[in-house]
Amino acid sequence: MPMMPRKYSPLDYLIVNLDQAVRTLAGAPLSSGRPNPAGECAEAELDDAEKTESARLMRVNHSGEVSAQALYQGQALTARLDTVRERMELAAREENDHLEWCEQRIEQLGGDLSSLNPLWYAGSFALGAVAGAVGDKWSLGFVAETEKQVVAHLEDHLTRVPNADSKSRAILEQMKLDEARHGAAAKAAGAAELPGPIKGLMRLMSRVMTRTAYWV
């Protein structure tokens, strides 16, 4: 007799999300297992200033992925449709790839992770949970707009990373492709267009996080 799929309770989902938070912040996330896109790139001869700049930019991207992971987990927790929840959980696993790649690159460059990552995680998780509770189409709209802003942010970083740093560039390019795909998938799934003031608030919050994580 085939086994029926287990139905998770709200408490089950809360425990799963707590586990994901610990994994994200402790550096042991559940990734999809894709190879690091920088693996085939030779390490460039960077001077100290170039290493510092690359490490700081990758730290910003790592913090951004911490926030993205929390956002998706928060949305999955309160999503009303199982299909939307599954979409959020799949995206979260791919964001964990980014998290892992950024952390590896920061370590190679001799940099440090942001000490404020727990704060970024908590704030983004709360936003995601609220977005999911409002309704699935608005939650998907939040994803679509977030990914649109992240793609623009990555394009900016690609102009700032030292030209010789091919490893960081390879990671950022793959992240850009993935984020654009996540945004397109959210739109195809029925994402609602967010009001202008909400988009502006999202940009402001992103600016605060990126500028702070660059230094701390």
pLDDT for 4: 47
pLDDT, residue 14, reads: 66
Q: What is the pLDDT along the chain (216 residues), one digit of tens a residue?
A: 444 455 666 667 667 666 777 677 776 666 777 899 999 899 999 999 999 999 999 999 999 989 888 887 787 777 766 766 676 667 777 778 899 999 999 999 999 999 999 999 999 888 888 887 888 888 889 889 999 999 999 999 999 999 999 999 999 999 999 999 989 988 988 899 999 998 998 899 899 999 999 999
> H-type helices in 79-135, by residue range?
82-108, 117-134
CB 105 within 8 A of CB 171: yes
> Element (H or E) spanning 47, and its range?
none
What is d(CA 84, CA 75) in angstroms, rounded to the nearest whole number?
Answer: 9
Domain ranges of the chain: 10-17+46-215
pTM (predicted TM-score): 0.87
pLDDT for the residue 9: 67
| 98 Rama class: left (phi>0) / alpha (psi -120 to 50) / beta | alpha
Are residues 209 and 68 in contact, defined by beta-carbon separation less than 8 angstroms?
Answer: no
Q: Please, what CATH class does the domain formed by 10-17+46-215 belong to?
A: mainly alpha
Q: Beta-carbon neighbour count of residue 108 at 10 Å?
A: 16
Which three-class secondary structure state does DSSP give residue 7?
coil
CA distances from 117 to 58, 65, 134, 174, 215 (A): 14, 10, 26, 23, 13
